[in-house]
Amino acid sequence: MPQGPANRAATKKPARKGRGRTFELLRSKLEPPVARAGLIHRTRVVDALSRSSDRRFVSVLAPPGYGKTTVLGQWERDDPRDFAWVSLDSRDNDPLVLLTYIAEALSSDGSIGPAVFKALAAPGDSLWADGLPRLGAALARRSEPFVLVLDGVHVLEDRRGLDALVALAAHVPAGSQLVLSGRIEPRLGLASMRAGGELLDVDSSSLAFSETEAHRLLDAAGADVTTAEVAQLNARAEGWAAGLFLAALSISGGKSSPATFGGDDRFIVDYLRAAALRHTQGDKRDFVLRSSVLETMSGPLCDAVLERSGSAAVLEQLEHDNLFVVPLDRTRTWFRFHHFFREMLEAELERSDPGLARELRRRAAAWCDAHDRPEEAIAYARKAHDLETVARVVAANGLPYIRSGRVGILERWLEAFDDAEMLRRHPAVAVVGVAVYAFAGRPDTAERWALTVETTDQAGPMPDGSPTGAWIATMRALLARKGIERMRVDAKQAVAELTPSSPWLASALVFEGIATELAGDPSKAEQILTEAAETAVTSGALWPGVVARAELGLLALADGDVARAEAEVTLARELVDDPPSGEHVARAILLAATARVALARKHGAQARQALAAAQRLRPIIAHAPPWFSVRVQLELAKAHLELQDPRGAATLLREAEEVLRRRPRLGSLVAEAEEIRARIADTAEESTGWASTLTAAELRLLPLLTTHLSFREIAERLYVSRNTVKTQAIAVYRKLDASSRSEAIERAVALGLVDAAPGAQLSDFTRSG
């Protein structure tokens, strides 16, 4: 027997934290608004929403204060379907963050498994090729109808996040709905949804209070008004809920009358500055004025920022008094001010005491930093113009963010430091930036930052207690600009000077081990890489551990010890089974080692599977540090030769030799390249023909061909011309023996080079392409 709305609401459970999430979610963002006493039920609007189940999309767009969130909360409590809720903020412009919150909101029924979260956490283009299709497929498979509310879509401005949301919307099944609520229309193609009859529009005219509703609101707020006065006041306010409520406060306090109260935005803002604050005197007035610097408020946070005690009780009292304080969770732990109210208060504080406002934000940043809320800490510090705090938080959180795949957020943090003087002043940030850019396809930026930071005169300890020189030596070893011998020297210095608890120690040991191996001492290299692998486990350094174990496997294979090689590769693979492995570039050496060991065991199918996965990573490999790029490409080339695929090996060798021409001092890799070239020349020119001849640029394009994007839009994302994209696409078609975009996608999917968007028609991929 189906549950009624009341019973269903009573049995709803908050979203749970499951396996695969790479960062701590703010639970308050996943909670629908709390029902409060005194709110007017918007029966007319809620009924219209309830009758809209045949529309897959609902747009609720209006200026602030029209009660969008309140109406949606009332609909949620009346509708028998399951509601998933995400309250958006500016951090959701990162596609990883946005899609992870959406997946978490939808995961209460178990339809979103850990594999989806792992795929979403992968950096780079794999979000389109793997994570997004998996989440879309999970949406499409849900058997019970649902409503997904994205509240605050006006904050979404980043093109990548908007594109991801457009792609996800295509998977909303019939009977379910995606609700987009915000101040302005997002760039999500609502016009086409509207033209197709799939969109219900709820705008400010739909949300405007009727005279009856306005009368009930004014009465509930304590304003003694006649029916005629309500009609007059509501006509001037145009049904704007916030304006009516402000009018009620003013009228009930004897500050104005229905006949004299104004309704334009400027008047409302002026009124909020003056009349609203006059209702809050003494300590309470000081509290709301100073706490206006906070985006969200809790008792402990306000206590720290305002340097007082008892803030939790004040927040509860403010919420009880309906003084524009909105609870963000069911336990009434976190609150926020109504946006207009906060903006008015903050402007008042800035005008009266700008120095105090900056100091309050500095305290907020310090509290958030101490309570493991780095993103909020940086937001407050930046608004306070406190780049010292920003630098400290970035330096302390850089590596964890890299490891969890949140590189997009980290890159935005680093933008503020892209200045020579800033980099010299903050060497820890500079080293983090070099590590990010070295593996993110921005080698020129990595080189520039590295050259700049080496001129720093800062000698103080780094966040882990190590001397500045130890971090810089680690950075030099990573880039290996002066060849393998200098890489080894730099790595040895880093290992000697880094503190035992340094998050960089495992990486420094890996660099030393590989440099030692490429310098011709595999026995010593094995000892160092074993220590690196053990250090990685104890320090939680996932990817250095993967690289160390994979390299140990390749060393064992070179010695002819296949059993030991297989054991090392298995250990490396176990490191990425639980945390999201995704498309991190370090996975490339694991895939190469996996393929080589599989071939040693005569497991050709397993080897081909690993090589197909490695093909997806080749665009990232091409921009990795030279020693890593060449090492991986040569190992992959060896595997292709063993599979009688000389054409594929030749493609990889050409890319490796391009790097070697720029960086020739890479030790034994030079001789390995020459040996592989000779083997290719001695091998018959027959290829197995499984698309291994695609270049790195063509592989970079391939995942984007599976999207709705036109060639022009793809060109914008790749920062190349439309003609370049077209030329590369034609080359992809030829190499995959395809005559069209849709046929190329079919071949790529069959070969394991990409995943097609589940449920999409291949004809969709040919538009504008």
Residue of 368 and 584 predicted with greater confidence: 368
pLDDT of residue 769: 41
Q: Are 179 and 60 in contact (CB under 8 A)?
A: yes
Same domain assignment for residues 661 and 702: no
Same domain assignment for residues 163 and 235: no
Same domain assignment for residues 25 and 169: yes
Q: Read off the tokens for 555.
A: 């060393």
Statement: residue 580 has pLDDT above 60? no
Q: Read off the tokens for 158.
A: 């980043």
Out of 207, 223, 242, pick the residue that ends a domain: 207
Q: What percent of the chain clears pLDDT 90, i.e. is strictly above it?
A: 41
Residue 593 falls inside a structural domain: yes
Residue 418 falls inside a structural domain: no
Q: Are 154 and 744 in contact (CB under 8 A)?
A: no
pLDDT of residue 84: 93
Statement: residue 20 has pLDDT above 60? no
Same domain assignment for residues 187 and 258: no
What average pLDDT does the segment 80-84 reach? Answer: 93
Statement: residue 763 has pLDDT above 50? no
Q: Are 642 and 676 in contact (CB under 8 A)?
A: no
What average pLDDT does the segment 567-572 reach? Answer: 94
Residues 6+ positions from 261 with CB-CB distance below 8 Å: 233, 236, 247, 250, 251
Residue of 743 and 29 predicted with greater confidence: 29
Least confidently predicted of 222-231, 435-444, 469-478, 641-650: 435-444
Same domain assignment for residues 61 and 29: yes
Statement: residue 449 has pLDDT above 60? yes
What average pLDDT does the segment 308-333 reach? Answer: 85
User: If you write DSSP's letter for every residue of 573-639 in order, what string do you get?
Assistant: HHHTTSS--TT-TTHHHHHHHHHHHHHHTT-HHHHHHHHHHHHHHHHHHTTS-HHHHHHHHHHHHHH
Query: Given pLDDT bands bounded at 50, 70 and 90, which one contains residue 5?
Result: very low
Least confidently predicted of 102-116, 212-226, 473-487, 744-758: 744-758
pLDDT of residue 693: 66
- Over residues 221-277, the pLDDT tens digits come to 888 889 999 998 888 777 878 888 878 877 887 777 787 765 444 546 665 666 566
Residue 32 falls inside a structural domain: yes
Same domain assignment for residues 185 and 79: yes
Q: Read off the tokens for 219.
A: 């009465």
Same domain assignment for residues 630 and 588: yes
Residue 411 falls inside a structural domain: no
pLDDT of residue 268: 62
- Per the structure, the count of domains in the chain is 5
Residue 752 falls inside a structural domain: yes
Distance CA 141, CA 65 (A): 37
Query: Given pLDDT bands bounded at 50, 70 and 90, which one contains residue 302?
Result: very high
For residue 129, the 8-state DSSP code is I
Residues 6+ positions from 385 with CB-CB distance below 8 Å: 358
Average pLDDT of the chain is 84
- CATH code at position 710: 1.10.10.10
Residue 422 falls inside a structural domain: no
Query: Given pLDDT bands bounded at 50, 70 and 90, which one contains residue 49?
Result: very high
pLDDT of residue 759: 37
* Residue corresponding to tokens 């193609």: 189
Out of 385, 404, 439, pick the residue that ends a domain: 385
Inter-helix orientation angle 299-306/311-320, to 10°: 120
Residue closest to 401 by CA, chosen among 83, 708, 96 = 96
Residue 164 falls inside a structural domain: yes
Range of the domain at 754: 696-766
Residue 23 falls inside a structural domain: yes
pLDDT of residue 263: 42
Out of 207, 232, 252, pick the residue that ends a domain: 207
Q: Which residues pair with 147 in a beta bridge?
A: 83, 177
Query: Given pLDDT bands bounded at 50, 70 and 90, which one contains residue 751?
Result: low
- CATH code at position 638: 1.25.40.10
Same domain assignment for residues 494 and 635: yes
Same domain assignment for residues 530 and 598: yes
Same domain assignment for residues 542 and 569: yes
User: If you write DSSP's letter for every residue of 433-490 in order, what string do you get?
Assistant: HHHHHHTTT-HHHHHHHHHHHTT----S--TTS--HHHHHHHHHHHH-TT-HHHHHHH
pLDDT of residue 322: 59
Count of alpha carbons within 13 Å of 487, Cβ hemisphere only?
A: 28
Q: What is the dihedral of CA 103, 107, 113, 116, to 10 degrees?
A: 0
Same domain assignment for residues 636 and 674: yes
Same domain assignment for residues 525 and 629: yes
Statement: residue 574 has pLDDT above 90? no
Q: Read off the tokens for 155.
A: 């904050």
Q: Are 96 and 120 in contact (CB under 8 A)?
A: yes
Q: Read off the tokens for 615.
A: 């093909």
- Over residues 183-227, the pLDDT tens digits come to 778 888 888 888 888 899 998 889 989 999 999 988 888 888 899
Distance CA 365, CA 374 (A): 8
pLDDT of residue 438: 85
pLDDT of residue 465: 92
